Amino acid sequence: MRRLPYDIRIAIFLLVGSAVLTLISPEKVARSLSENVGMIVGILLLSIAAVLVSVGIHYLIAPAFVERHLQGNKLRYLVYATLLGIVTPGPVYALYPVMLALRKKGVQNPVLVSFITGQTLIGPARAPLEIGLFGVTFFAYRLALAVVIGPLAGLLYILLSKWLPDRA
């Protein structure tokens, strides 16, 4: 079991927990499922749409474009990094190897901070889910906030690294 990846262990734990709950109280589980079948179907359909959007965006962003527009600490690079983070699909832990490769190519830490902040705040897989569940206005506000907060995080990194220098 320890050899399995962390996310697989969590999935197994959740499946075993669900099975135990079903064995303990099958009527409550059945009632809960039947009362929420509409929401479950909606979330599944939105999840499929989110995966399709993520796959599409993954193929639209060229690695050369990323390298060309992320080579400095200028505000525009922080904005570019935030926007690229917003449209980059996948879980955050899958992006760390990409970030390390970018760092080795000369992308500086404030730009990486803006990138990961943008990806963490939005991420393309969340767009269809949030629009479907909360509406376009809700998502537009979150998107606007992410575009402001991402570069701000990079700027704060620059200020903090002057006070407490970064070894990298």
pLDDT in tens, 54-91: 566 556 666 676 667 666 668 889 998 899 889 887 76
> Is residue 107 scored above 90 in pLDDT?
no
Place of tokens 């760092």: 103
pLDDT value of position 73: 67
**Which of 91-95, 104-108, 123-127, 129-133 is predicted most confidently?**
129-133
Please tell me whether the overall predicted TM-score, pTM, comes out greater than 0.75 for this model: no
pLDDT value of position 158: 92
- Calpha distance 74→87 (Å, rounded): 20
pLDDT value of position 128: 86
pLDDT value of position 42: 80
User: For residues 86 and 118, is the Cβ–Cβ distance under 8 A?
Assistant: yes
Residue 97 is which amino acid?
Answer: P
> Is residue 113 scored above 90 in pLDDT?
yes
Residue 125: which pLDDT band, with cuts at 50, 70 and 90?
confident
- Calpha distance 53→81 (Å, rounded): 19
